[in-house]
Amino acid sequence: MKKIIIFILISVSLFCEFQKIDISYGASFYAKEREVHYEKSVLQEDTSIHASEIGKFIKADVYKPLLKVENNSFYLGFGIRLEEALDVDSEYGNLNYLTPIYFSTLYLRDNPNISFYGKFNIGYEFAFEKGDNINKFDGYDEAKLSGGMYFGIESGIEYRDFLLGINYNQSSTKVIIPNGENQVEGKVDRDFSTIALVLGYRFDIWN
């Protein structure tokens, strides 16, 4: 919670004069989870699992102008994404939601009819477990879930403020397994990769 509050305060102070707001909905047509299991820092298992269902998300990005050279515009901003976690056949259970909060850069190639855009996002992802699955596996009742780094890239076209794009996202979560003496017995790194189709709308503020 402290990380979220600090991020919001810094972001609002930096981007209070934002100019563009992107609201988007996406659906993943490719999704994979990689699980790396360690016990006392020794690698035990490294597996990859492909999701059997389409994942969905909504996200919001805000930007302020940074630089403009002829028809090329650059913006700096931040965003938040709420993603329904992948339904994977994992012995470590399913997550409920993945929620990255990130800084973002936007490149916009302005044209009279159709404009082209690109985005790069980097931040921290918060993970939320589904039921009791995470906290009860391999005989450990006190396993703890934590988030990790997030980054994403997106490119697409803009037509009359409507957006159509493709994005790739990669994020990390971690399950820590204590040994009952406040020491780490083992951990599971859970890395998620998705490719998604994105539909959105761009609001121009103070343009």
CATH number, domain containing residue 171: 2.40.160
**What is the amino acid identity at position 127?**
A
> Is 10 within the bounds of a domain?
no
Q: Which is more confident, 32 or 180? A: 32
The reply to whether 2 falls in a domain is no
The answer to whether residue 13 is domain-embedded is no
Residue 14 lies in a domain: no
pLDDT tens digits for range 94-103? 555 678 899 9
pLDDT band at 41 (very low <50, low <70, confident <90, very high): low
Confidence (pLDDT) at 5 = 47
Distance CA 194, CA 207 (A): 33
Q: Is residue 7 part of a domain?
A: no
What separation in angstroms does the CA of 164 have from each of 53, 111, 154?
A: 22, 16, 10
173 part of a folded domain: yes
68 close to 25: Cβ distance less than 8 angstroms: no
Does residue 133 or residue 59 have the better pLDDT?
59
> 163-184, pLDDT tens digit by residue?
999 999 988 877 776 665 555 5
Q: Work out how many domains the chain is built from and give that number.
A: 1
